[in-house]
């Protein structure tokens, strides 16, 4: 009954917004249309409404107006996307339920930044190395896109940072300071230079917080450089960054502890000490550099190539051990694009290959109150992956668009344990997996498009799953695969005053990789049956008012709904059958509604309400996190490159867990989020 009421309420809000926008359009001829969105997904520049795919766009304003210095509130406005932060700096990201196998970090999703892959050869992405201020836009591709981006059944995220945001040549400086509850402090500085053929952008950022819970302090220092050179038909782009990240990991607590004192960290249990005693934390120092080259050979042919490299020094004192990793990564790729067209037919053909490699030196020691003790394991792992793809995009008669692509993917691991005999490498190969994708769209009117697609997904086990924290190798793990079928409608209504995007999909995942825990709490992973991930997504954005004569620049209302009644289909643990149970860690629905108001004088107000349903915390579905309603907002004054702002998080003072430890030993599922908190700050040099 509650679910039905919520869905009716959501539908009612959409109808109300639609009618309101129609009334505004009828009564005011000064209303300006929403801007047409052009996306670069699937290796081209195409109008968003024409592409036969579910793609969400996050623009610079969404990042700039975040109520927190975190990606979490920004990504969580997107239907089908759920981002969590169990403690400051500890990100988890899922697209359409891909969180099942990610107790920490970002897996099963391919992430690029300005065309360069951030996802490493082992399948992991350190998204928490990036500061929110370093990104000016993102495209989120939902569902399997292996035919164009390789492994990952969740989808892909394409981050963007403009090398220069200024329209005039010369030097420009920017900076900012902010502070808030629980010891939050952020400082940033930037220098940009622009000429007719060269742009450069250097940013330095410092962020720290004491955290709400015990053992939840964090600190991040980052420096990054974006540059581009353009000479005749060639463009060179460079991305370089260095980040020193530290954050403590308080660990999960059980329901009784969460109810009595949600601030406490994981407590001692039996012979196992707690998080405070073991000084559990993550230390990550990473340097990354990449070069992207684009050569427009002629009007029809373009060649794009990249090379990347990174070094990571990683330390993790945990409850049961102290892990050190040294990771060396390299990557390269090249892609040829052919374009041809006339007034009736337009063809784009992309063919390319990407390769990534990682060498990891992994040492596990005993943990004696945050200090290394006796060496337990010393391992060396080589991981490499490659995929080759070809894709055709064909638009004809101004109404139809066909996308057809296919890729071949392969993953290879070589590993050995020092000190054991014979000291030779063992090889695990996941042979070539063919992943096709076909999609078709039809433009019913110049503003409205319908589409349908079928795509196969592929996701190999990552290094963190193949060699997890329990110190064992799991060479019998196999890749996840599955087919996704989807249809949707998107476009604009009422003279482009309303932008909408609705879709229905059904994804059947085989060989699902799921997390298990040993008695000591160390994790490992197994393939366990299949899941049915079927759902509905709806997004609407309406421009309600735009009348400069009344002092209001614009008012937008946005609303997104994710309905995700996912189920295990064929899933067992020993003799226990979980068929039909809700998918662990995935809420049945998420509904987010927001209002954005900007005045001619420079004042603004941005608010949002996130209503998230109960979440199943274990595969047996006998423990569930309660639903919550999260109110967030930001208000301030921004004009002539200067800004002063005040933001609020958890305005309703809800007690909730933003990042649950699913299937946790001892039923320690909960990681409490902060109650009502505020941030105040100022920035200069904005554009």
- Taking only the tens place, the pLDDT of each residue in 334-372 is 999 999 999 899 999 999 999 999 999 999 999 999 999
Q: How many CA atoms lie within 13 A of 546 on its CB side?
A: 13
The encoded tokens of residue 102 equal: 């990610």
pTM for this entry: 0.92
Res 516: pLDDT: 75
555/575: higher pLDDT = 555
The encoded tokens of residue 640 equal: 């002539």
Given a cut of 60, whether residue 16 has pLDDT beyond it is no
d(C-alpha 424, C-alpha 420), whole Å: 9
Angle at 367 between CA 366 and CA 369, to 5 degrees: 150
Q: What's the distance, CA 85 to chain centroid? A: 12
Given a cut of 50, whether residue 18 has pLDDT beyond it is no
d(C-alpha 669, C-alpha 517), whole Å: 13
- Other residues' Cβ atoms within 10 Å of the Cβ of residue 418: 12
Question: Rounded to a whole number, what is the distance in angstroms from the first to the last CA of the chain?
Answer: 48
Given a cut of 50, whether residue 22 has pLDDT beyond it is no
Res 26: pLDDT: 39
Instruction: Name the residue with tokens 């998420």.
Output: 590
Q: How many residues does the structure list for the chain?
A: 687
The stretch 645-661 carries a mean pLDDT of 95
Q: Name which of 429-438, 547-556, 637-646 the model is least confident about.
A: 547-556
Q: What is the pLDDT of residues 274-284, one digit of tens each?
A: 999 999 999 99
Among 441, 583, 555, which Cα is nearest to 501's? 441
Q: What is the pLDDT of residues 131-160, one digit of tens each?
A: 999 999 999 999 999 899 988 888 999 999
Res 86: pLDDT: 87
> How far is CA 397 from each of CA 53, 124, 343, 446, rounded to the nearest angstrom?
19, 42, 8, 12
The encoded tokens of residue 310 equal: 């990174």
Given a cut of 60, whether residue 113 has pLDDT beyond it is yes
Given a cut of 50, whether residue 4 has pLDDT beyond it is no
Res 6: pLDDT: 44
37/141: higher pLDDT = 141
Q: What is the pLDDT of residues 472-499, one digit of tens each?
A: 888 888 888 999 999 999 999 988 899 9
Res 476: pLDDT: 85
Q: What is the pLDDT of residues 200-253, one digit of tens each?
A: 999 999 999 999 999 999 999 999 999 999 988 999 999 999 999 999 999 999
d(C-alpha 433, C-alpha 367), whole Å: 40
3-state class (DSSP) for residue 558: strand
Helices (H), 129-233: 146-149
Q: If 0-12 CB within 10 Å is exposed, 13-18 middle and 19+ buried, where does residue 525 land?
A: buried
The stretch 579-594 carries a mean pLDDT of 94
Given a cut of 90, whether residue 624 has pLDDT beyond it is yes
Res 391: pLDDT: 96
Query: Which pLDDT band holds residue 545 (cuts at 50, 70, 90)?
Result: confident
Q: What does pLDDT average to over the chain?
A: 90
Q: What is the pLDDT of residues 632-641, one digit of tens each?
A: 999 999 998 8
Given a cut of 90, whether residue 98 has pLDDT beyond it is no
Query: Which pLDDT band holds residue 512 (cuts at 50, 70, 90)?
Result: confident
Q: Which domains does the chain have, with CATH numbers?
A: 17-684 (2.40.170.20)
Q: Tell me what percent of the residues of the chain surpass a pLDDT of 90.
A: 70
Given a cut of 70, whether residue 523 has pLDDT beyond it is yes
């Amino acid at each position: 009954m509650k679910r039905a009421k919520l869905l009716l309420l959501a539908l009612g809000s959409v109808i109300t917004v639609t009618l309101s926008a129609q009334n505004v359009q009828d009564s005011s001829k000064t209303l300006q249309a929403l801007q047409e969105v052009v996306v670069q997904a699937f290796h081209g520049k195409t109008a968003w409404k024409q592409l036969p795919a579910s793609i969400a766009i996050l623009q610079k304003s969404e990042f700039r107006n975040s109520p927190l210095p975190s990606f979490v509130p920004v990504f969580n406005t997107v239907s089908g996307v759920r981002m969590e932060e169990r403690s400051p700096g500890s990100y988890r990201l899922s697209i359409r339920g891909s969180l099942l196998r990610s107790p920490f970090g970002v897996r099963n999703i391919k992430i690029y930044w300005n065309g360069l892959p951030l996802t490493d050869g082992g399948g992991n992405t350190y998204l928490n190395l990036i500061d929110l201020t370093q990104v000016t836009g993102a495209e989120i591709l939902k569902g399997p896109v292996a035919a164009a981006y390789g492994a990952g059944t969740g989808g892909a995220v394409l981050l963007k940072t403009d090398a220069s945001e200024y329209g005039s040549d010369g030097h420009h400086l920017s900076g900012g300071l902010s502070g808030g509850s629980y010891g939050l402090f952020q400082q940033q500085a930037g220098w940009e230079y622009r000429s007719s053929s060269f742009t450069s952008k250097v940013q330095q950022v410092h962020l720290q917080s004491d955290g709400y819970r015990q053992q939840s302090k964090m600190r991040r220092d980052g420096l990054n450089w974006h540059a581009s050179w353009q000479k005749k038909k060639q463009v060179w782009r460079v991305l370089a960054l260095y980040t020193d990240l530290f954050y403590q990991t308080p660990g999960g607590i059980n329901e009784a502890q969460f109810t009595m004192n949600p601030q406490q960290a994981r407590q001692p249990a039996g012979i196992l000490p707690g998080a405070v005693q073991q000084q559990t934390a993550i230390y990550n120092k990473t340097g990354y550099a990449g070069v992207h080259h684009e050569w427009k050979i002629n009007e029809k042919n373009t060649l794009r190539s990249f090379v990347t490299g990174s070094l990571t020094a990683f330390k993790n004192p945990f409850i049961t051990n102290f892990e050190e990793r040294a990771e060396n990564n390299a990557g390269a790729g090249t892609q040829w694009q052919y374009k041809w067209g006339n007034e009736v037919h337009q063809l784009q053909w992309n063919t390319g290959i990407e390769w990534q490699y990682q060498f990891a030196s992994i040492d596990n020691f005993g943990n004696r109150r945050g200090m290394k003790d006796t060496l337990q394991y010393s391992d060396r792992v080589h991981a490499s992956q490659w995929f080759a793809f070809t894709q055709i995009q064909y638009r004809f008669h101004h109404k139809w668009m066909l996308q057809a692509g296919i890729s071949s993917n392969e993953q290879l691991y070589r590993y050995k344990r020092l000190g054991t005999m014979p000291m030779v490498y063992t090889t695990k190969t996941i042979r070539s997996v063919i992943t096709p994708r076909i999609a078709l769209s039809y433009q019913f009117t110049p503003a409205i498009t319908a589409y349908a697609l079928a795509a196969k997904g592929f996701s190999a086990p990552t290094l963190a799953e193949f060699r997890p924290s329990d110190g064992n190798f799991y060479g019998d793990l196999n890749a996840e695969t599955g087919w996704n079928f989807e249809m949707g409608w998107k476009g604009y209504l009422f003279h482009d005053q309303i932008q909408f995007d609705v879709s229905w999909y059904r994804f059947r995942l085989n060989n699902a990789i799921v997390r298990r825990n040993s008695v000591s709490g160390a994790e490992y992973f197994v393939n366990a049956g299949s899941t049915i991930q079927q759902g509905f997504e709806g997004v609407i954005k309406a421009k309600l008012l735009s009348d400069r004569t009344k002092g209001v620049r614009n008012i937008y209302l946005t609303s997104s709904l994710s309905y995700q009644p996912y189920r295990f289909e064929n899933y067992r643990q020993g003799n226990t059958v979980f068929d039909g149970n809700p998918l662990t860690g995935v809420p049945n629905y998420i509904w987010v509604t927001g209002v954005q108001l900007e005045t001619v004088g420079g004042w603004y107000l941005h608010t949002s309400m996130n209503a998230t349903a109960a979440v199943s915390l274990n595969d047996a579905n006998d423990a569930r996190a309660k639903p919550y309603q999260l109110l967030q907002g930001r208000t301030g004054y921004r004009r002539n490159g200067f800004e002063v702002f005040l933001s609020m998080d958890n305005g309703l003072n809800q007690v909730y867990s933003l990042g649950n430890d699913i299937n946790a030993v001892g039923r320690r599922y909960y990681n409490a989020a902060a109650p009502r908190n505020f941030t105040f700050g100022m920035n200069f040099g904005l554009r």
